[in-house]
Chain A
Amino acid sequence: MIKAKNRLGLVFFPAFDWAISPTHPEREERLLYTRDQVMEEGLLDIEGIVEYNPEVAKEQDVNRVHICVPDVASRTTQSHMISAGGAIAAAKAVLKGKVDKAFAIVRPPGHHARRIVHGARGFCNINIEAVMIEKIRKEFGIRKITVVDTDCHHGDGTQDIYINDPDVLFISLHQDGRTLYPGTGFVDEMGGPGATGYTLNIPLPPGTSDEGMLYVIKNVVLPVLEEYKPDIIINSAGQDNHYSDPITNMNFSAQGYAELNHLLNPHIAVLEGGYSIEDALPYVNTGIILAMAGLNYSNIKEPDFREGRFRESKSSMERIKRICEEVLRVWNNKERLRSEKIRYRDYVVEERRVYYDTDGIMEYQQEKTRVCDECSGFVQLTSKADTGYRVIALLLPWHACDDCAAEAYDIFDSLQEPSGTLVYLQDKDNDLLRVKRL
């Protein structure tokens, strides 16, 4: 009888009755072959691996993270609430001590969903990890969290949500944004004035294989984690770095994914993207499950994988090393970079365009962050989408200081125009969302 070294909670919810559209990558079939592989390998019979059903996340859980325009109900379906609820169920199993670790193999994914949600981007409506994180911060008082996003696409949604939050260190490894959706995730995106250096982006050249990815984990991620000392490590476990993935250009293998998970040793892993549903997902998921359970994964490989099939070229390895050095420079010079960002201003203002590829929506955003020494500072997001919605969102961080709180509430109460604008005030400490229409 095989016994897991770590008790592992598995929330496996393939949502066999839901698709974005019949031929969309995010369709019923996506986790079918994974289910077959997991069943055939008998993983659920292993002592110490326990399967849980997902919960259904509540509107309030979503409101803690997002400003859904105009509201949660119109931007989500049951499938999104269950996917986020799956991540929550996984986290609860860990935090209640029922298991040592948990893996939520759920769909649809969430890491492209940003603070403001006008629609779906990169197949994501709500950010399932963020909904989970805010839930466990509220219910279990967890303070320091690290999210390591190993999806092939930049986790721009998670980055956006935690851009100004020093208690959530966000690290994303992904294919270089110049060659892949969403086109962001460069080293100079390093966090807002309240959390400079707590967003670390590691863009990797197309074709990066196990060797390059694991180099980054060993030489950047692990040393940073060692220093940051998070209470909880979360892995956004996208599986589209795989060599067989149809919409990306990387050369990562199932063995590499298992090894990565073993090195990173996360408390909670949540499935994100990954659309090589037959040739990658069954093997990658099996590898991650075994690695998390502390079991031998050395015999997990794709049927067409040969030792030495993918090797890092010398020039690619050099490039990866240079990127790693740059990222470490950001991490090691957080304070200096922060003052350079602030330059004695009281507010830092940034403007951006956000494209919702799944729903075809364009949004224009202005972000105004209060520079504050007492807390990470409140944020005012002004948003206009080509759907016609105009939004002003006042976002109070966790542990907001009295000044930030007073100013945000003051703005909320006093705003009178432009008429038709939806005004939101999100207050994390008091777990409330206020809404009014001008």
Chain B
Amino acid sequence: MIIGLDVGGTNIDVVLIGKKGIMHTVKKPVDYDCFLQCVISSIEEVSRDINPRQIKKIDLSTTVSTNTIVENRNSRVGLMIEHGPGLKLELPDPKMLAFFVPGYIDHRGREAHPLNLKEVDKGKALFLKENIKYVGIVGKFSVRNPQHEMAMSKALTDSFEHISLGYTLSGELNFPRRINTAFLNSSIYREYRNFAESVEKALQHLDFKCPVFVLKADGGSVNLNRSVDVPVETILSGPAASIMGGTAFIDTQEDIVVLDIGGTTTDISFFADGIPLYEPRGVEINGFKTLVKGLYTRSIGIGGDSHIKLEGNSLKIGPVRRKPAAFGGQHPTPTDAMKVLGLIEEGSHQKAVKALKPLAQSMNTGVKDMAELVIRQMCKKISEKVNSYLDQVNSRPVYTIHELLHGKKLRPQKAVLMGGPAGALKDVLSRELGMECILPKLYRVANSLGAALSRTTAELTMVVDTAQGYMLIGEEGRRKRIPSNFTLEDARKLILHKLLHKAKKYGFKGSLEDLHIVEQEIFNIVRGFYTTGTLIKLKARIKPGLEEEYIND
């Protein structure tokens, strides 16, 4: 048996899953003042009458990282940055204390200017004087050669609570995002570690000895202990939880749209051939663009509780949220329209009718017609947005002739609907989208379900440069000498092997077959008129997915 636990802004959702599917669910309001107690009591409740030894693992989805940033409770961070020539940086956040160190690594990972260690010492002195406890170290092109970052880190060891090294956080190129990612990682370290320790304590108290996993923004999970060093990977894992949970019992082997229709917003995401779509460069939180891998989601300001207004002759729905009249509010909302049409059970029919009446009158129509118009309008708006995001996704920049002419285009024929108003909108939305709409049975516990079932994910990036005679796994930072006859096949084998090793440390249970090379580039390096070597770039990944053994509806 496994337990999935979603700690949201208002509720804690817990689900207990056995070989035969969902055995028990619990939903409780969360009280952040006695947070630990809430977690303990909800786990206790869901696993009542179960021997803790029977629980194989516990999966958490948490907003701790996200909230620490959004609520500005993060720590001040000293950033040691090797900038070199290039775009002038702007580091506007008051919690970033930046110190720039001379030195430069170029795009091939060659040292163009040595690192100035005297300056590093000056930076260290400054950080200590400023009482900095958390540090980020970032160099330009450090994922091509991390030696400068490593040297800086060595000079700073033992003087600070935590140091985030840029190259360890992602193998992708993007210096400003690398800085933001390292900053956030160090910045939320303290709060996240407290959370992780509390959870561990709570589980010890309950006598649970099973491994604990945390959901990441990419829809995969990671061992709680491991995640303490990279808390930034757990930001924005909420949408990932609901997407993974919502589609848990649905065949996603084709292209699909996932719509999470809430009170205030509707979140749109996509699956391509069964794999959730990622943000191309990384997720953004509170204005910080990061290198954190995360699922593609676009929020639009329209939901069940959106305020309906008449502007001229047309209806405007959202983005302001109001309490629906049917539930004691003062303003008309789509929820009231649903109530008028009998599409939802709860709430007051009379109040809903009363709220819609003025709108109906000014449009010279009956209340029922008005309600239908509202629903149609809302679904039309959602459908337009879905199509416009699809267009954007399908016109993403590509860099080869083959991809430009024959690249994969997303053409979903199915939509999965989640959230409170989903059921009421299903038919109209299906008409507007021209797609079959599916309601997962268990969307009310989608988040905890998503956390519970998600598989461990991991990713590695590799650069092989036979002209310079080295290979490097970006995130691991070990530059290794290789023979000049090192081939693409060698590289592919090696990266998969390394990824499996890394994933196992993260708690991965699968085998080599679950690992995929998702990006591959190979270039001949020609100097003069001779080929002097080969440049190979590979990215291998365990794609997010669900643990199949628990999925048998």
Contacts and interface: CB of A to CB of B under 8 A. Distances in A.
Contacts of A334: none
Contacts of A295: 87
A40 B404 contact: no
Contact of A41 (B86, B104, B112): B86
B521 A16 contact: yes
Contacts of A41: 86-87, 175-176
A187 interface: no
A416 interface: no
Interface string B283-312: 000010100000000000000000000000
A22 B401 contact: no
Interface stretch (A50-58, A156-164, A168-176, A204-212): A50-58
Interface string B61-89: 00000000000000000000000111110
Interface in A264-305: 278, 282-283, 286, 290, 295-296, 298-304
Q: Which among A27, A36, A51 has the highest number of chain B CB atoms within 10 Å?
A: A36
B86 A300 contact: yes
A411 interface: no
A298 B281 contact: no
A28 B87 CA distance: 26
A304 B110 CA distance: 12
Given A78-B401, A286-B86, A40 B524 contact: no
Interface in B515-544: 521, 523-526, 529-531, 535
Interface in A215-251: none
A33 interface: yes
B355 to A, nearest CB: 40
A431 interface: no
A299 B87 contact: yes
A33 B88 CA distance: 20
Interface in B266-286: 281
A73 interface: no
A16 B173 contact: no
Query: Binding site of B, secondary structure by majority: helix, strand, loop or mixed?
Result: loop
Contacts of A56: 404-405
B42 to A, nearest CB: 39
Contacts of B535: 29, 32
Contacts of B521: 16
A82 B404 contact: yes
A303 B106 CA distance: 8
Interface residues of A, number: 48
Contacts of A372: none
Interface string A299-320: 1111110000000000000000
Interface in A14-47: 14-18, 22-23, 27-29, 32-33, 35-37, 39-45
A185 B141 CA distance: 41
A357 B490 CA distance: 40
Interface stretch (B47-55, B205-213, B380-388, B391-399): B391-399
B399 A40 contact: no
B90 interface: yes
Contact of A33 (B108, B399, B524): B108
A44 B396 CA distance: 12
Contacts of A17: 400-402
Nearest to A29: B523
B140 interface: yes
A23 B526 contact: yes
Interface string B461-501: 00000000000000000000000000000000000000000
Given A29-B526, A33-B108, A42 B404 contact: no
Contacts of B431: none
Contacts of B524: 22-23, 27-29
B92 interface: yes
B530 A23 contact: yes
Contact of B174 (A22, A42, A302): A42
B107 interface: yes
A303 B84 contact: yes
B349 interface: no
Contacts of B405: 56, 78
A22 to B, nearest CB: 6
A356 to B, nearest CB: 20
Nearest to B402: A17
B176 A45 contact: yes
B286 to A, nearest CB: 11
Interface of A: 1-2, 12-18, 22-23, 27-29, 32-33, 35-37, 39-45, 51-54, 56, 78-79, 82, 278, 282-283, 286, 290, 295-296, 298-304
27 contacts: A1-B90, A2-B90, A12-B397, A15-B399, A17-B402, A23-B524, A23-B526, A27-B524, A28-B524, A33-B108, A40-B140, A42-B289, A45-B176, A51-B397, A52-B395, A53-B396, A56-B404, A78-B405, A79-B401, A278-B107, A290-B87, A295-B87, A299-B87, A300-B85, A300-B86, A300-B87, A301-B85
